A and B are shown apart, each in its own frame.
Chain A
């Protein structure tokens, strides 16, 4: 679970890196495409981070921790 969360965080930052690279280096439709790709990577990272925490939330809420 910890690994999933770490990967999620790394993907979030990587996605932002792609977005920033596109803003700095590209123009026009190419920039839009890469910014979209960066956002998709961020969405994947957010999904993984959320999934990583879901199991922990459930066990705490049941009073197991």
Chain B
């Protein structure tokens, strides 16, 4: 493995975070824009620190120390056992081990932690974001990351089965389920649903930033797919070209499918749903990365774009889940589709183990994440108070708006 190239790919990953941050705040209200951006940065920072100090010891790496259960002849590797506070990591010299994996995981967990900020937009308090990010990075994420990548029971080197070559499961679906749990606990923004149950549209405040964020995220996603493929799946330098081609094809197909579908359904293309289609394509394509054919990448991306367009509508109108950025549909929905698509198109995983991986995410990770959030919500109330709902998060929590000279909110002057 070319370590230098691998580190360069990892250095691109923060661009995925930057792109998602732009998308999150652009799809939210202008009166919560600065809060959304700061929340994202706090989530990234806290996740990085907590993961390195605590989460890494549970995640581990292939060949590293781990907790193993023996049941007869069965060897059940269920949790990493590295020392706390990253004491066992050797970044250089003879016998170096774990440093590369830790660097990759630290950046990846930041991505997972920032996904729920989108679903909790306009109503999730900064303290809640910080607490949830810490628990995600210290406990939830390491569990599945160890199973899929750290030499755990799902890892392909042990079973030859489950394949997640770009983090569609460990990063995107885990983050998406966190977003779903947060959206459930917070409830919708006030005024989202009328008395008869009809949803009112609360459009994003800056769609140009959202679309620019899509382009920025593409570069970061290529870095993420490449780094995971090289570190955990043995992808060589020549594979990088395939990873770039497939990432671009997946994103393009997802976006174009959403453009076409919204054009047919609403007579005009919907820019925010098309942006969601772009990211959904990237998310779904992450599972196979460079291990599927370009034709398969186009199909995976297109299906993700269509799927997300319908899922956003079902979540908002049928299930009454107010997710301003469509994070649950884009990250959890498209991520699970991507994992299953690897089984269908033969990207290195067997269909049976891809289903087992998805079943583990839904059957164990979702309840675990949700119970964790319910307990945290008791300690650190997630939702802003009633005044904050009307004022916006910028004024309520930060004391100043993101665009103080350009925007006047009529709602602020409504008598309470």
Contacts and interface: CB of A to CB of B under 8 A. Distances in A.
A46 B361 CA distance: 12
Given A9-B371, A61-B187, A15 B320 contact: no
B359 A35 contact: yes
A60 to B, nearest CB: 3
A21 B39 CA distance: 41
Interface of A is mostly: helix
Interface string B164-205: 000000000000000000001001111111110101000000
Given A35-B355, A53-B184, A65-B187, A12 B362 contact: yes
Interface string B348-389: 000010011001101110110011000000000000000000
Interface residues of A, number: 29
Most chain A CB within a 10 A radius of its CB, from B189, B197, B320, B355 = B320
B356 A35 contact: yes
A13 B362 CA distance: 9
Interface size class of B (residues with CB under 8 A): 20 to 34
- Interface hub of A15, A46, A57 (most chain B Cβ within 10 A): A57
Interface in A14-64: 15-17, 19, 23-24, 31-32, 35, 38-39, 42, 45-46, 49-50, 53-54, 56-58, 60-63
B319 interface: yes
Contact of A9 (B74, B193, B370): B370
Interface of A: 9, 12-13, 15-17, 19, 23-24, 31-32, 35, 38-39, 42, 45-46, 49-50, 53-54, 56-58, 60-63, 65
29 contacts: A9-B371, A12-B362, A13-B363, A15-B363, A16-B364, A19-B356, A19-B360, A19-B363, A35-B352, A35-B359, A38-B363, A39-B355, A39-B359, A49-B370, A53-B320, A54-B320, A56-B187, A57-B188, A57-B320, A58-B197, A60-B187, A60-B188, A60-B190, A61-B188, A61-B190, A61-B191, A62-B195, A63-B190, A65-B187
Closest 4 CB pairs of A and B: A16-B363, A60-B187, A61-B193, A61-B188
